[in-house]
Amino acid sequence: MSQNEHIFSPETRRIIAEFSQFQSGDWLRECAIRKQDLKRNEYLAWLQQVREQSFKGYAQSEAGSPAHAYHHFRLKLIRQEMQEAESETEVPLEKHRIRKNVMRHIMEGRLEMALKQTYHFLEKQKELEAFQYELIHLLSEFNHYEEKERKGMLKHEQLSLARNRIRNALLHIIKEIGKEE
């Protein structure tokens, strides 16, 4: 199993270590190979089939027996693998949705809404540190120019230039958010 161990996440490896008596089993090798070779949806479908088999085996085996423990191990490992595979798609989809919304706000001239939505998304994703200074600066710059405009202290051309600069900086941040890790 050690040659395929890197295929699994640290949490999955912890589960494997917890049930170390099954590490040499053919099923773990097959699981590692399938995880590496199959597309995510195919891997999830295979895990679902194995899960159904393990539910039957778990229900039919006697509590405390090696078979019962083996099916318990497989179910625990499958649950972990399925959660990880499903969460891999959630963040990119969320990033795509946020990018789309922020772009719409920018195109419709709602820079403040775009800035705030970007800030909250990055905060939620624990990615705020990378852009925090830049976002806070953009938001304060935006508020500064809005205040000057309200007081009549800013020409329309100056405000337009400031908005364009803020928009371009925000577009750069949004582009960075959308990049794959």
Query: pTM value?
Result: 0.43
Cα gap 8→81, rounded to integer Å: 8
pLDDT tens, residue by residue, 112-144: 788 777 777 777 766 666 777 777 777 788 788
**pLDDT tens digits for range 57-75:** 888 888 878 777 777 888 8
Residue 106 — very low, low, confident or very high, per pLDDT cuts 50/70/90?
confident
**Range 74-88 average pLDDT:** 78
Q: Say if residue 18's pLDDT is above 70.
A: no
Q: Where are the alpha helices (DSSP H) in the chain?
A: 10-18, 26-37, 40-60, 66-107, 111-124, 128-150, 156-178
pLDDT at 24: 47
Angstrom distance (rounded) from CA 63 to CA 23: 21
Q: How confident is the model at residue 155 (pLDDT cuts 50, 70, 90)?
A: confident
